[in-house]
């Protein structure tokens, strides 16, 4: 039995594949041309945060079917299962329930989980293909920016007013101490 990360992927129009052996996953993460990749995920903030925070990887462009689903179906649940059903791209599996609470999986269990994962990847790809024509490029850029702002947060500070406020506060505290 082994505990291992699992990553489902599809590249272009190829069928989805999954990686669960550590060395295979690391090889893929290190050699894939992320700087040329349009990565798509359902709830991309989560997946891209993990990719960025744990692996130091940021794809060139990011799509998010959850965001697209919310904009397209504002009064519906936009879970992967529901979007797949609404758009007629397939059925989400239920195999994940069999692994609740498990920390270590056999190779046979990894195969089942991998098939489940590949189905999710195919559903996500199908949802994206069904919705992308309804989104102008500026909206897709906004989704990319929003996900990247979450996955790669950057705090920019205008130092001059901050330093000025700090010095003023120090002067105020000194004056208060003098009064005491």
Q: In residues, how long is the chain?
A: 180
- What is the chain's pLDDT, residue by residue, as a tens digit (180 residues)? 333 455 777 677 778 888 877 888 888 888 889 999 999 999 999 999 999 998 899 999 999 999 999 999 999 999 999 999 999 999 998 888 888 888 888 888 888 888 888 899 999 999 999 999 999 999 999 999 999 999 998 888 889 999 999 999 999 999 999 998
Write out 79-122 in H/E/C secondary structure. CHHHHHHHHCCCCCCCHHHHHCCCCCECHHHHHHHHHHHHHHHH
> Could you write out the DSSP letters of every residue in 79-90?
-HHHHHHHHTS-
What's residue 6's pLDDT? 55
* C-alpha span between 26 and 33 (Å, rounded): 13
pLDDT at site 4 = 43
Q: What pTM did the predictor assign?
A: 0.78
pLDDT of residue 177: 93
């Amino acid at each position: 039995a082994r505990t291992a990360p699992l990553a489902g992927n599809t590249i272009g129009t190829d069928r989805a594949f999954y990686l669960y052996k550590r060395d295979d996953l690391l090889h893929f993460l290190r050699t894939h041309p992320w700087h040329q990749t349009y990565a798509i995920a359902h709830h991309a903030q989560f997946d891209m945060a993990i990719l960025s925070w744990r692996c130091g990887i940021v794809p060139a462009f990011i799509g998010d079917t959850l965001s697209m689903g919310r904009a397209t179906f504002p009064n519906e649940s936009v879970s992967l299962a529901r979007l797949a059903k609404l758009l007629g791209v397939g059925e989400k599996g239920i195999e994940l329930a069999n692994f609740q609470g498990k920390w270590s999986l056999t190779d046979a269990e990894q195969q089942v989980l991998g098939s489940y994962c590949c189905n999710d990847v195919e559903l996500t790809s199908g949802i994206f293909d069904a919705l992308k024509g309804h989104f102008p490029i500026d909206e897709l850029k906004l989704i990319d920016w929003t996900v990247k702002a979450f996955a790669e947060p950057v705090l920019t500070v205008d130092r001059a007013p901050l330093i000025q406020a700090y010095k003023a506060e120090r002067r105020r505290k000194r004056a208060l101490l003098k009064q005491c």
